[in-house]
Chains A and B, each alone.
With several copies, the nearest count.
Chain A
Amino acid sequence: MEKKESKTLERVTIRFAGDSGDGMQLTGMRFTNTTALEGHELVTLPDYPAEIRAPAGTLFGVSGFQIQISSSEIHTPGDQPDVLVAMNPAALKVNLKLVSDNGILIINSDAFQGRNLALAGYETNPLEDDSLKRYQVFAVPITTLTRRALEGVKLSVKEKDRSKNFFALGMTFWLFTHPLEPTIEWIKEKFKNRPELVEANIKALNAGYNYALSTELFSTTYRVDKAKKAPGKYRNVTGNEALSIGFITAAKKAHKELFLGSYPITPASEILHELSKYRNYDVKTFQAEDEIAGIGAAIGASYAGALGITTTSGPGVALKSEFLGFAVMAELPLVVTNVQRGGPSTGLPTKTEQADLLQALYGRNGEAPMPIIAAKSPADCFSAALEASKIALMFSTPVFLLTDGYIANGSEPWLIPDVDSIPEIEVHYATDPDTFMPYKRDPKTLARMIALPGTPGFEHHIGGLEKDDTGDVAYDPDNHDRMVRLRAEKIERINQYVDQPEINGDPEGELLLISWGSTYGTVFTAIEEIRKRGKKVSWYHLRWIYPFPLSLEKYIHNFKNVLVPEINLGQLVKVIRDRYLVDAKGFNRVRGLPLNTHELVEAIENILQK
């Protein structure tokens, strides 16, 4: 037996995988939690199937949860797991190709037999042939050991088996020298009405930990140092949680009620779930009969004085597009969140993609400009929601907020801001009924005048037909041309009220990367790697995609190459080519997954070597 040692790693990636019923999301979340409390940098990626609970043992029923933990700044959940926990053959089959060379495989050997092997498409047992020799394999009879640990607990065998994920979790806690206490506390709270489950799960957790310890299963344990990030209080948040908090904050800062009109759709539903908990924050959530009714109600609420928002994913945006045009025409504040998923059509509903950008830009009849902001990471969803709301109210316009399945479900620590440091959002109302005209505009922002129903003396009409300044329907050709241009100009002016992104790196050189949204993390990591190799590359990450920021103009012509990495077939790159007439190229993978850092590094190297 090898001598046991403890290694300190800068960063490591762990992936939990099993059947949909094996509780892998929960296991991942518990691991994440402890990691966060330990003060590490972390980024997570849940990866679950579209089926609620697919038949046991099948490939499509595999549910995964990946987490990268680090002592330095990281922005991706890692390309390749260093450790894979596989609860059955299907989980191994689906995930093995991802695991890094010489990676650790922790395998529930009890599940590797008969029908399970067949369902996963294994002809021979991989634990018994040579196929895993490139890895460090730890085959543990987790089911048997869990049952044994729970002898005497008053539960059926079936119920006892449900605790085996805690056994696995216990083993990984030992491997990463993580404490058990936070999880034990959580179990006690979570199952407080079922004492036998508290007992079972704690026993399984301890048993896993002790098994690893006492069998000296692993020759090494790993430590990741505390991250050297800004000191302060952090909260681990998923993108959908951070977004929800952002909207509640925006409403409070604007002295408005928050009104969400929404229809459930993966991966946006959690925002509805989350916000519906906050009735005491004057949050009114309305689960509508469909996406059209969801946005319609939000528009109505906005007209009546609330901060109206709607949340959905791609197919839902398609349904909302007629109403988006209406909101543009009526010039009402509204934030529309699209948590993008794999498309087209129903596509890959639980996977991530960035392929709805052009839909956000152009997916409406007529000239119907709408500002677009994109969040770059789970925690960033907070500020994106806040900023989107501010601009919507300030310019009296619908705003698109783009996130995606990856950052919506993924989590990372969020440095909790000081409530008072967040500025109030000012909303301007018309004050003089005598000069009031609903389409009279603020000369600076071009936002139209707002008067809320209920205010005497400001009675007026809005609608989807073209209007003149007085709010009357107007068929005059010149008025239409003028209004079409005014609505576009108004959106351009937003640039004067939002930060312009700074270029990262030299203002000229061989290669400029331009990115938006959730690829931020991958690009960050790839650039770090390239620079480590002593090479130069510059980077510009967009927050607002429309209006297009002005600061890029200064640099973009100073680079020999421009590369735009996106999880689509090339959408932002079209906008950049059109606007600057530079021969920008796309780096595109449409695999339902975040971009792979290694592939991107390679692509950059290829350009730099040319």
Chain B
Amino acid sequence: MSQQDKVRPGKVQLTRDDFTSKSEPRWCPGCGDYAILAQMKKILPDMGIPRENIIFVSGIGCSSRFPYYMNTYGVHSIHGRAPTIATGIKLANPDLKVFVITGDGDGLSIGGNHFIHLCRRNVDITVILFNNRIYGLTKGQYSPTSLKGQITKSSPYGSLENPFNPILMALASGATFVARTIDRNPKHMIEVFKRAAMHKGTAFVEVYQNCVIFNDGAFADLTKPDTKSERALYMEQGKPYVFGNNRDKSLRWSSNHFEVVPYDENNPDKELMVHDEHSLNPTLEFGLASLSDDPNFPTPLGIFRDVAVDTYEGLLLKQIEFVKQKKGEGDLEKLFHSGNTFYIENK
């Protein structure tokens, strides 16, 4: 008898503590990872998913220790490969709610290929990428999201590389849910996490995360009281892109680029573009995401894209059903005796 047959205990409302494992987090004091862990624990009780059906899969990195701290099933796998394991898990048991936890090195350097193929296939998996723009666990080398010129242990004279923008990669490879949030804004993170976790298909969330030890303050502009309103743009569905200290600026698409235009809350320009997460073609979202880190524009945060597309495992199950209907349920007897068979008789 398999375990699966065991009687399920009566459904009870879970709390944040139900998701806290016995292992104490081993991150540096002050690390942004703590905030992400806390928000994840907050959203899970209300998702209506039995705890035993939740699984966190990670690679290697400071961030990838995450599964140990969740009182759910978990796999702390090898560097960059979490999406592959997660895919196998989801295809084998589509009832499970599968999260991938990764870092900018884990997910975009060594694991970049698995990441884009996961997005392309649209397997129903929620990917949370902790982007601290540094390799934390290996003590401070530049990562594929480090800024050009950044001085690190492996670039004592400055990095020569152009950074990836993870949002662009996700959009180009076809992820059906794409979002960005930041460790210092727990409320926003909760909203984004909830939406991502509920999405059917590959959901990608980039979390800007502060590494206090090796890259402190990398995203400070987006949260410091004096700069955040100018530097961070929170996108809202159906609303214009408003930002600025006095909410007095907005964005407009002008022939082939975005430009900043004045905005008057009380008298909004009716022609002003508004945000549409559900647009099937993500061209404008691509343009928006390209503004990140551009000193002339604010960095967008929030949900870039959320569209409904068949999931890979959904199609697989459908195909199985289809073949069963066409050929009948598989049967070993039939299998053995098909092909080129012949008899040798007793003489």
Q: Per the CB under 8 Å rule, do A and B touch in the complex?
A: yes
A255, B141: Cα distance in complex, Å: 30
A107, B76: Cα distance in complex, Å: 37
Please indicate the chain B residues that have their CB under 8 angstroms from the CB of A542 in the complex.
Answer: none
Please indicate the chain A residues that have their CB under 8 angstroms from the CB of B135 in the complex.
Answer: 264
Does any Cβ of B come within 8 Å of A431's Cβ? yes
Does any Cβ of A come within 8 Å of B270's Cβ? no
Interchain CB contact under 8 A, A431 and B3: yes
A462, B55: Cα distance in complex, Å: 11
With beta carbons under 8 angstroms apart, the residue of A50, A61, A245, A454 that contacts B93 is A454
Q: What residue in chain B is nearest A452 (Cβ atoms)?
A: B3
A-binding segment of B65-73, B176-184, B243-251: B65-73
Does any Cβ of A come within 8 Å of B136's Cβ? yes
Q: Would you give the shortest CB distance from A593 to chain B, in whole angstroms?
A: 22
Please indicate the chain B residues that have their CB under 8 angstroms from the CB of A453 in the complex.
Answer: 52-53, 55, 73, 89, 93, 96
A462, B72: Cα distance in complex, Å: 11
A284, B330: Cα distance in complex, Å: 13
Q: Residues of B within 8 Å of A, CB-based: how many? A: 94
Interchain CB contact under 8 A, A276 and B2: no
Does any Cβ of B come within 8 Å of A406's Cβ? no
Interchain CB contact under 8 A, A290 and B92: no
Does any Cβ of B come within 8 Å of A285's Cβ? yes
Please indicate the chain A residues that have their CB under 8 angstroms from the CB of B328 in the complex.
Answer: 280
**Inter-chain CB contacts under 8 Å: number:** 301
Interface residues of B in 322-346 (CB under 8 A from A): 322-324, 326-330, 332-333, 335-346
Does any Cβ of A come within 8 Å of B311's Cβ? no
Interchain CB contact under 8 A, A264 and B138: yes
A-binding segment of B111-119, B215-223, B293-301: B111-119
Interchain CB contact under 8 A, B76 and A233: no
Please indicate the chain B residues that have their CB under 8 angstroms from the CB of A464 in the complex.
Answer: 60, 76-78
Q: What residue in chain A is nearest B112 (Cβ atoms)?
A: A289
Please indicate the chain A residues that have their CB under 8 angstroms from the CB of B29 in the complex.
Answer: 53, 55-56
Interchain CB contact under 8 A, A304 and B92: yes
Q: A281-B330, A461-B68 are in contact. Are A51 and B84 (CB under 8 A)?
A: no
Interchain CB contact under 8 A, B114 and A461: no
Q: A231-B346, A429-B2, A458-B3 are in contact. Are A465 and B76 (CB under 8 A)?
A: yes
Please indicate the chain B residues that have their CB under 8 angstroms from the CB of A435 in the complex.
Answer: none
Please indicate the chain B residues that have their CB under 8 angstroms from the CB of A429 in the complex.
Answer: 2-3
A-binding segment of B40-48, B151-159, B187-195: B151-159
Q: What residue in chain A is nearest B332 (Cβ atoms)?
A: A419
Interchain CB contact under 8 A, B60 and A346: yes
Does any Cβ of B come within 8 Å of A252's Cβ? yes
Mask, B126-149, CB within 8 Å of A = 1, is: 000000000111110110100000
B-binding segment of A120-128, A210-218, A266-274: A266-274
Interchain CB contact under 8 A, A232 and B88: no
A372, B97: Cα distance in complex, Å: 35
Q: Would you give the shortest CB distance from B113 to chain A, in whole angstroms?
A: 6
Does any Cβ of B come within 8 Å of A322's Cβ? yes
Does any Cβ of B come within 8 Å of A263's Cβ? yes
Does any Cβ of A come within 8 Å of B50's Cβ? yes
Interchain CB contact under 8 A, B67 and A461: yes
Does any Cβ of B come within 8 Å of A282's Cβ? yes
A235, B335: Cα distance in complex, Å: 11
A326, B57: Cα distance in complex, Å: 14
Please indicate the chain B residues that have their CB under 8 angstroms from the CB of A228 in the complex.
Answer: 347
Please indicate the chain B residues that have their CB under 8 angstroms from the CB of A465 in the complex.
Answer: 76
With beta carbons under 8 angstroms apart, the residue of B71, B137, B329, B333 that contacts A459 is B71
Interface residues of A in 229-255 (CB under 8 A from B): 229-237, 241, 245, 248-249, 252, 255
B-binding segment of A165-173, A295-303, A489-497, A583-591: A295-303
With beta carbons under 8 angstroms apart, the residue of B91, B142, B157 that contacts A259 is B91
Interchain CB contact under 8 A, B141 and A300: no
Interchain CB contact under 8 A, A456 and B344: no
Does any Cβ of B come within 8 Å of A315's Cβ? yes
Q: Would you give the shortest CB distance from A246 to chain B, in whole angstroms?
A: 11
Mask, A304-334, CB within 8 Å of B = 1, is: 1110100000010000001100100010000
Q: A296-B85, A459-B72 are in contact. Are A301 and B330 (CB under 8 A)?
A: no
Interchain CB contact under 8 A, B92 and A259: yes
Does any Cβ of B come within 8 Å of A152's Cβ? no
Q: Would you give the shortest CB distance from B139 to chain A, in whole angstroms?
A: 7
Q: What residue in chain B is nearest A288 (Cβ atoms)?
A: B84
Q: What residue in chain A is nearest B51 (Cβ atoms)?
A: A459
Interchain CB contact under 8 A, A297 and B91: yes
Mask, B17-50, CB within 8 Å of A = 1, is: 0000101111111000000000000000000001
Interchain CB contact under 8 A, A232 and B343: yes
Interchain CB contact under 8 A, A315 and B96: no
A151, B71: Cα distance in complex, Å: 46
- Which of A50, A232, A288, A300 is packed against the most chain B CB atoms within 10 Å? A300
Interchain CB contact under 8 A, B336 and A419: yes
A261, B144: Cα distance in complex, Å: 16
Interchain CB contact under 8 A, B319 and A264: no
Does any Cβ of B come within 8 Å of A559's Cβ? no
- Which of B68, B84, B110 is packed against the most chain A CB atoms within 10 Å? B84
A54, B213: Cα distance in complex, Å: 12
Q: What residue in chain B is nearest A268 (Cβ atoms)?
A: B138
Interchain CB contact under 8 A, B89 and A301: yes
Interchain CB contact under 8 A, A300 and B84: yes
Interchain CB contact under 8 A, A263 and B110: yes
Interchain CB contact under 8 A, B117 and A269: no
A607, B31: Cα distance in complex, Å: 54
Does any Cβ of A come within 8 Å of B75's Cβ? yes
Interchain CB contact under 8 A, A37 and B342: yes
Mask, A428-454, CB within 8 Å of B = 1, is: 011100000000000000000001111
Does any Cβ of A come within 8 Å of B74's Cβ? yes
With beta carbons under 8 angstroms apart, the residue of B28, B95, B324 that contacts A52 is B28
Interchain CB contact under 8 A, A454 and B136: no
Q: Would you give the shortest CB distance from A477 to chain B, in whole angstroms?
A: 19
Please indicate the chain B residues that have their CB under 8 angstroms from the CB of A461 in the complex.
Answer: 21, 67-68, 73-76
Q: A279-B157, A297-B84 are in contact. Are A463 and B332 (CB under 8 A)?
A: no
Interchain CB contact under 8 A, A292 and B84: yes
Q: Would you give the shortest CB distance from B20 to chain A, in whole angstroms?
A: 12
Q: What residue in chain B is nearest A294 (Cβ atoms)?
A: B84
Does any Cβ of B come within 8 Å of A345's Cβ? yes
A322, B77: Cα distance in complex, Å: 11
Interchain CB contact under 8 A, A460 and B342: no
Interface residues of A in 28-85 (CB under 8 A from B): 33, 36-37, 39, 50-56, 58, 60-61
Q: A297-B87, A305-B92, A417-B336 are in contact. Are A289 and B110 (CB under 8 A)?
A: yes
A523, B92: Cα distance in complex, Å: 42
A433, B275: Cα distance in complex, Å: 49
Interface residues of A in 185-238 (CB under 8 A from B): 226-237
Interchain CB contact under 8 A, B323 and A280: yes
Does any Cβ of B come within 8 Å of A116's Cβ? no
Q: Would you give the shortest CB distance from A30 to chain B, in whole angstroms?
A: 10
Q: Would you give the shortest CB distance from B99 to chain A, in whole angstroms?
A: 12
Q: A454-B53, A472-B23 are in contact. Are A261 and B156 (CB under 8 A)?
A: no
Does any Cβ of A come within 8 Å of B81's Cβ? yes
With beta carbons under 8 angstroms apart, the residue of B96, B109, B142 that contacts A454 is B96
A464, B81: Cα distance in complex, Å: 12
Q: List 19 A-B contacts (CB under 8 A).
A: A60-B26, A231-B347, A249-B335, A264-B135, A264-B138, A276-B156, A287-B142, A289-B113, A297-B84, A302-B92, A303-B85, A306-B92, A326-B77, A345-B78, A454-B52, A455-B3, A461-B76, A464-B77, A464-B78
- B-binding residues in A (CB < 8 A): 33, 36-37, 39, 50-56, 58, 60-61, 226-237, 241, 245, 248-249, 252, 255, 257, 259, 261, 263-266, 269, 272-273, 276-306, 308, 315, 322-323, 326, 330, 345-346, 413, 416-417, 419, 427, 429-431, 451-465, 472-473
The 5 closest A-B pairs by CB, nearest first: A300-B88, A296-B84, A281-B330, A463-B76, A297-B88
Q: List 11 additional A-B contacts (Cβ < 8 Å) besides A276-B155, A280-B326, A302-B92.
A: A55-B29, A259-B88, A290-B113, A297-B84, A300-B75, A304-B93, A462-B74, A462-B76, A463-B77, A464-B76, A473-B23
